[in-house]
Amino acid sequence: MSEKTKGQLLSEKLFYNSENAFKKLDAEEIAKADAYCEGYKKFLDSSKTEREAVISTEKMAREHGFVPYTFGMKVKAGDKLFYNNRGKSIFLFRIGSEPLTEGVRIAAAHIDSPRLDLKPRPLYEDSEQGFLKTHYYGGVKKYQWTAVPLALHGRVILASGDTVDIVIGEDENDPVLYINDLPPHLAQAQYQKTLSLAIEGESLNLLVGSRPYDDEEASEKIKLNILSILNEKYGITEADLISAELCAVPASKARDAGLDRSMIASYGHDDRVCAYPSVTAILDDASAGKHTVMVILADKEETGSDGNTGLKCSLLSDIIAELSNTFGVSENTVRANSKCLSADVNVAYDPNFPEVFEKRNTAFINHGVVLSKYTGARGKSGTSDASAEFLGYVRKLFDDNGVIWQIAELGKVDQGGGGTVAAYIAKRNIDVIDLGVPVISMHAPVEVIAKLDVYMTHKAVLALFAE
């Protein structure tokens, strides 16, 4: 091979390009990433709702010696704690050896995903078919949710005050739910509509039955039969569905995707694909050290982070204030010196839709964890916009720790845009930057990610915690 020319050497030194991680990693590390993702797939299947994700996470945390934290509790360096917020969001933290005033190292991901929530009075029958009415949660392309098998997950509080947890449609012997769509034979008028109107919100009704209750004199026999089945199995009456949080999610399991198995197809990568790597990072004893470290798994991100389980809630500040009180230090100082990775997914470049991307500033699958300096829309509106200094810190941290990373925006300027929890973290005077896994078909019932990117996200969070 001929020697490199001066110009070639200079461009190696001066140019920046993100690179495919397959080029950079040896076979051993690729195998490690594949093995890591086996655990991720199990997490996906057991954690389709925020409640289930909290249960899975608390279980993992307890297995690693984490214990429940209560406000006012005395803590010391080395303690491993978790705070379960109403069963829908969870905070894991380890107390470090250095003063808390050096700040907390935080990774914040969310565990709610787009889905179809049941309305408070969902059940009805029409023309001898039984249905459940839904109100979609988060940004869904409604037409994608028709004609696919769906499962029902959630919790019902009975009139007695008893709690019933429901999962129907995940076991292969379970029945599934379904949303009807028109056959192409009768879709001439539907074809003329725009995608956003072809299936409307009020037609996202879950088909749940067609067998009448066996009593000639009874009315609404299909509905009655469904309620009688629910009542027999769970003790539920129609009124109990009012004090309930039930939702329909795709009934499929996480599967390897691609003939080369390099990817995973699943419901709910957004944002379990950042939640799981954050949790495994804090469970890793490499996270035990100088800094106090924290993982936040938030709810309600997909509807704007409102509510007391979302990240606009004061709970993050409250926990930092409680810990600060314990050590007799200023919570304001603790927050001012804290650093956070807002771990949420980004959009992966899709060669089937090149028109919405600006290729130089777009994330590619297999190019590692994506950093985003800012998000927002229409002139960066609504973004936190990380400082050059903080980006410089994170970039060096990743380079020093063998984290393969890339930088990207979410699509072309003025093509759309999106937000994350970063703005609500920044609001508390904490340095924060967005980082996460590039996703193909984000918010679709089944999304696709690349395994190497999941593993690199785990390495990224671990680098922050172990620093």
The site for Mn ion (CB under 5 A) is made up of 270-271, 344
Q: Please say which residue, 51 or 272, places its beta carbon nearer to Mn ion.
A: 272
Contact 371, 391 (CB under 8 A): yes
Residue 64, amino acid: H
- DSSP helix/strand/coil, 186: helix
For residue 144 the two structure tokens come to: 């994608």
- In the complex, the smallest distance separating the C-beta of residue 309 from Mn ion, rounded to whole angstroms, is 15
- In the complex, the smallest distance separating the C-beta of residue 238 from Mn ion, rounded to whole angstroms, is 32
- In the complex, the smallest distance separating the C-beta of residue 114 from Mn ion, rounded to whole angstroms, is 7
Q: Please say which residue, 69 or 267, places its beta carbon nearer to Mn ion.
A: 267
Contact 362, 409 (CB under 8 A): yes
Q: Please say which residue, 205 or 278, places its beta carbon nearer to Mn ion.
A: 278
Measured CA to CA, the distance from residue 164 to residue 237 in angstroms comes to 12
Q: Please say which residue, 301 or 331, places its beta carbon nearer to Mn ion.
A: 301
- In the complex, the smallest distance separating the C-beta of residue 344 from Mn ion, rounded to whole angstroms, is 4
Q: Please say which residue, 52 or 240, places its beta carbon nearer to Mn ion.
A: 52
- In the complex, the smallest distance separating the C-beta of residue 272 from Mn ion, rounded to whole angstroms, is 10
Q: Please say which residue, 294 or 410, places its beta carbon nearer to Mn ion.
A: 410
DSSP tag of 329? -
Contact 447, 355 (CB under 8 A): no
For residue 242 the two structure tokens come to: 């009012």
- In the complex, the smallest distance separating the C-beta of residue 352 from Mn ion, rounded to whole angstroms, is 20
Q: Please say which residue, 134 or 372, places its beta carbon nearer to Mn ion.
A: 372
- DSSP helix/strand/coil, 115: strand
First to last CA, the chain: 41
- In the complex, the smallest distance separating the C-beta of residue 56 from Mn ion, rounded to whole angstroms, is 18
Report H helices in 64-160.
none
Residues in the chain: 467
Helices (H) and strands (E) in the chain, counts: 13, 21
Contact 37, 31 (CB under 8 A): no
Q: Please say which residue, 331 or 344, places its beta carbon nearer to Mn ion.
A: 344
Whether a cis peptide bond, with omega within 30° of 0, leads into 271 is: yes
Q: Please say which residue, 132 or 425, places its beta carbon nearer to Mn ion.
A: 425
Contact 416, 377 (CB under 8 A): yes
- In the complex, the smallest distance separating the C-beta of residue 242 from Mn ion, rounded to whole angstroms, is 28
The contacts of residue 185 (CB under 8 Å, 6+ apart) are: none
- In the complex, the smallest distance separating the C-beta of residue 444 from Mn ion, rounded to whole angstroms, is 11
Within 10 Å of residue 137's Cβ, how many Cβ atoms? 17
Q: Please say which residue, 79 or 271, places its beta carbon nearer to Mn ion.
A: 271
The per-residue DSSP string of 361-428 comes to G-B-TTS-EEEES--BBTTTBT-----HHHHHHHHHHHHHTT--EEE--SSSTTS--B--THHHHHTT
- In the complex, the smallest distance separating the C-beta of residue 25 from Mn ion, rounded to whole angstroms, is 26
Measured CA to CA, the distance from residue 223 to residue 5 in angstroms comes to 78
Farthest CA pair distance, the chain:
92
